Structure 1
Amino acid sequence: MSLLAILVLVGVAAQPAAASVSLVVNVVQEPGDYEARFPDVVQLDDGRLMAVWHRATAHQNAVGVIQLSFGSSDGRTWSTPAAALARPSTMAGVDTRDPKLGKMNDGSVVLTFFTPGGKVYYSVWKPGWTRFTDPVQLTAPGINGGMYSHGSALALADNETQVDQVLIPVYTTGTTGGAHFIRATWRATLSPRLLVSGSTKIITNDNPVGRRYTEPSFVQIGSTVVAVVRAEQNGGGSPAIVARWNPYTATPAFTYQSFTGVLANSHHLLKTSDGQVLFTYGDKAQTNRPTVGMMISSPTANWVKGKVLPIYNSGHADQANPSSVEITPGTYLTLGYNAKPKSQSPTGGSLWGIETHSADYS
């Protein structure tokens, strides 16, 4: 099948995307009714890519298994997918949702995910391994009840006596819930590998009444952590919140910005080689919430809405959850999935890699 035919089938050709935005690889097409949802991708220290996703027959109310594949440095070829956990039986019969990958400063990778009922777990991969360790549940002082995750664990740059510090973004529900981070120390050879020292709430729900803050994602720029938090008002779209703070202070002083006109769902933040942030997200302002992207040139300053680039639209109501890597300076690979049944689309169940370039965002 030609690339043009594939584009038509999955709905990308209907978008007014820049000519250089291109579907370059089918990472996997899950068989039967299975779908490759909620993907995440990271570049390893050896240049290869690592991707994970939620293999299930539905968005929820179906037990999903986290799949793992390794890609070439250019993202054009991928290994045969396999269960991410070395011992999948440790989570047998449990739906493992929203897998996310955070690379530690020593090249190890921390996989986080949540399960229905509000439990967050992490597993570890180290260079030379093929799978992740048995999951360990994350708990933290100050966070009670159900806890969920969507963003990747962020390994902070070492700063004087603060070494191997990690921030894990989570969120909680209800009127007293909101977006938080768990702080831990990474211990590559000790158990537990993430030694939790505390938690901090970034923003509280019902501020204003009816507002819910979920899916925090982090990136570090110099001595500042920049977070984007999904916001919804009474179940409808609301501008995303951009929060910033110095992670090396004992009591963070947060600054907040309502990102006017940007209804970002299930977003991803990628620090680029030139110090910008590639912000990809599901655009709730559009029908079916397609994946779009925006380049933030000054991420520690007030964010200004720039060109919104259409990246991927399967034409299905359930999509987005993008993740991106920079495969060469100024060239990016973003993952998007087609959750259409195969009776509606021959490429249903596919996980795609879409290539964009820095010039596309200007």
Structure 2
Amino acid sequence: MNSRRLWAALVAVVVAAMAVGVNPAPAAAVTQLMKLYQEPGDYEARFPDILKLADGRLMAVWHKAKSHQGDPGTVQLSYGTANGTSWSAPVPALAHPSLMAGKDMRDPKLGKMNDGAVVMTFFVPGDGVYSSVWKPGWTRFDDPEKLVVAGIPGSVPAQHASVLALPDQGGSVNQVLIAVYNNTGAWFVRATWRPVTAPRLLAADAFQLAANAPAANGFTHTYTEPSFVQIDGTVVAVVRHELNNGSVSNGAPAKVLKWNPYTFAGPQSYYDVQDLPVQASSHHLLVTQDKKVLFTFGDKAVSLRPTQGILIDSPLAPWPTTGLRKVLIYNSGSGDQANPSSVEVSSGRFLTLAYNAKPKSTVEGGGASPNGGSLWIMQSYASEY
């Protein structure tokens, strides 16, 4: 090869290498990492939650029942390896499950306290919100305590989000926030975490995030299922919004609120209230390692309400109202889905729990599935959002 040809070949190699650097390979699509578990018989796995423990392992809980509502439901518990690829056989989450026999333990949620303990909350329709505690070294949760809250009018409250432990700051020690809702709207409760004294969650007061109300156009606005996270000194919350109790599918933007929990003195202290043009229901918020927020939700703007995800790059600034990139995470093909929960197992790698509530059958089709009653782990990466 003469010098001119050799030089041309070298230039081609350099250009190709630069092209690879400038245009990296596209990110992998959202994938089903594995089936965590399939409930036997007529039982279904619904309303999951997942959390990373202080020792790096994962903990997952979910609602086991024969129907979405109206049947007694229990909570199942499983432990996963740090990368989420191996899970223990599920067991009843409570050490003494007979204490809740015959009751529907709905929407189990996990919140990690600053001391490494985990508080599991759930609600029983018409009865109220309960909490149960797990501590490092234990295998199950202890006996539930009913949350006693003064100052919330209307029906008995329900809950949807995990207990949020605030980092200790100044004179604020062992303070937590608990998201609840009822027929008057969405609320949050301020409480003290007491590791060894009953009640473990001692409620102090409650404040309304959004009030249910009729509008001038005749629609009734209903606000439920508040969820929140903390980033630096700010709590960021999202509240589900529906019109006419969900009978109207359009025009129900989720509500985003922010406030400083250490200086909060009442509803006037919400320094940002914003309508987000997303019809989010049964949603979940996850703060990533780089302080973004992975916002996963059932999308009521799409048939069957599949689980979508949006990564909010600057969650403390006003959330963008245009150009939001929704990423499809899971669609079981059943109308009974959503209620996702996510965890970041390594930088930019997310696992999201999703469930298939179709009736069980030997073949797929006709609204049934061999994977009915199963709980799935979906894997995605920050680069996809």
TM-score, scaled relative to structure 1: 0.92
Corresponding residue SS for 2:143: coil
Paired residue type of 1:188: P
Partner of residue 272 from structure 1, selected from 288, 306, 319: 288
State how far apart, in whole Å, the 1-side matches of 2:28 and 2:57 are.
Answer: 27
Q: Give the corresponding residue for 2:7.
A: none
Q: Give the corresponding residue for 2:97.
A: 88
Greater mean alpha carbon deviation, residues 189-198 or residues 30-39 = 189-198
* Residue 308 (1) aligns with residue 315 (2): no
Partner of residue 375 from structure 2, selected from 346, 351, 357: 351
The gaps in structure 2 that reach 5 residues or longer are 1-26, 362-367
TM-score, scaled relative to structure 2: 0.87
Partner of residue 239 from structure 1, selected from 241, 244, 253: 253
Residue 80 of structure 1 and its aligned partner are, at CA, apart by 0.5
State how far apart, in whole Å, the 1-side matches of 2:169 and 2:79 are.
Answer: 32
Paired residue type of 2:74: V
* Residue 192 (1) aligns with residue 208 (2): no
Corresponding residue SS for 1:90: helix
Residue 207 of structure 1 and its aligned partner are, at CA, apart by 5.8
Partner of residue 131 from structure 2, selected from 108, 122, 125: 122
Tell me if the contact between 1:278 and 1:293 (Cα under 8 Å) persists in the aligned partners.
yes
Corresponding residue SS for 2:71: coil
* Residue 99 (1) aligns with residue 108 (2): yes
Q: Give the corresponding residue for 1:160.
A: 170
Q: Give the corresponding residue for 2:359.
A: 341
Corresponding residue SS for 1:359: helix
* Residue 298 (1) aligns with residue 314 (2): yes
Corresponding residue SS for 2:304: coil
Structure 1 residues 182-211: Cα deviation after superposition (integer angstroms, max 9, x where no partner): 111111122211111111111111063600
Structure number with greater CO (CA < 8 Å, separation at least 6) is: 1
Structure 1 residues 86-123: Cα deviation after superposition (integer angstroms, max 9, x where no partner): 00011000011000001101111010111111511100
* Residue 178 (1) aligns with residue 185 (2): yes
Aligned pairs, number: 340
Paired residue type of 1:266: S
Query: After superposition, where does 1:1-362 map in structure 2 within 5 Å?
Result: 19-144=28-153, 145-173=155-183, 177-206=184-213, 208=215, 210-234=220-244, 235=246, 236-237=248-249, 238-252=252-266, 253-254=269-270, 255-260=272-277, 262-305=278-321, 306-343=324-361, 344-361=368-385
Corresponding residue SS for 1:294: strand
Q: Give the corresponding residue for 2:24.
A: none
Structure 1 residues 70-94: Cα deviation after superposition (integer angstroms, max 9, x where no partner): 0111111110000000000110000
Give the 4+ runs in structure 1 shifted more than 3 A.
Answer: none
Residue 19 of structure 1 and its aligned partner are, at CA, apart by 4.0
Q: Give the corresponding residue for 2:9.
A: none
Paired residue type of 2:202: L
Percent sequence identity over matched residues?
57
State how far apart, in whole Å, the 2-side matches of 1:118 and 1:291 are.
Answer: 29
Corresponding residue SS for 1:226: strand
Paired residue type of 2:62: W
Paired residue type of 2:195: A
Q: Give the corresponding residue for 1:10.
A: none
Structure 1 residues 230-274: Cα deviation after superposition (integer angstroms, max 9, x where no partner): 0001123411000111111241411210002x0000000000000
The gaps in structure 1 that reach 5 residues or longer are 1-17
Residue 25 of structure 1 and its aligned partner are, at CA, apart by 1.4
Corresponding residue SS for 1:38: strand
Structure 1 residues 273-302: Cα deviation after superposition (integer angstroms, max 9, x where no partner): 000000000000000000010000111111
Corresponding residue SS for 1:131: coil
Paired residue type of 1:286: V
